[in-house]
Amino acid sequence: DHFVEEGRKQVEAILKREDSRFLMVVGPCSIHNIEEGVEYAKNLAEISKRVNLFADFPRRAVKSHK
């Protein structure tokens, strides 16, 4: 996916100090409680209104426990 590839290139440039932007990595490595995961996603969506947000997700599918 072009969006993911471009985001990874931007992160790499920041880590190599070729880009002066600040990088903050946040998030759980996995989600075990669906309700808390949804709340976390809503919080990130609100933050993304104020800052550029790049999201890279694991290759595993999320299964609903409904």
Q: Which of 55, 51, 43, 1 is nearest to 21 (CA)?
A: 51
Average pLDDT on 11-37 reads: 84
pLDDT at 62 over 70: no
Q: How many Å apart are CA 35 and CA 31, to the nearest integer?
A: 9
Residue 39: count of CB within 10 angstroms of its CB: 11
Show the tokens assigned to 9.
Answer: 């290139």
Band the pLDDT of 17: cuts 50, 70, 90: very high
Both tokens assigned to 22: 């600040």
Q: Out of 17-21, 38-42, 47-51, which region has the weakest mean confidence (pLDDT)? A: 47-51
User: Residue 58's pLDDT is what?
Assistant: 58
| Single-letter residue type at 21 | R
Q: What is the pTM of this model?
A: 0.49
Compute, in degrees rounded to 10, the torsion defined by CA atoms 38, 63, 58, 27.
20
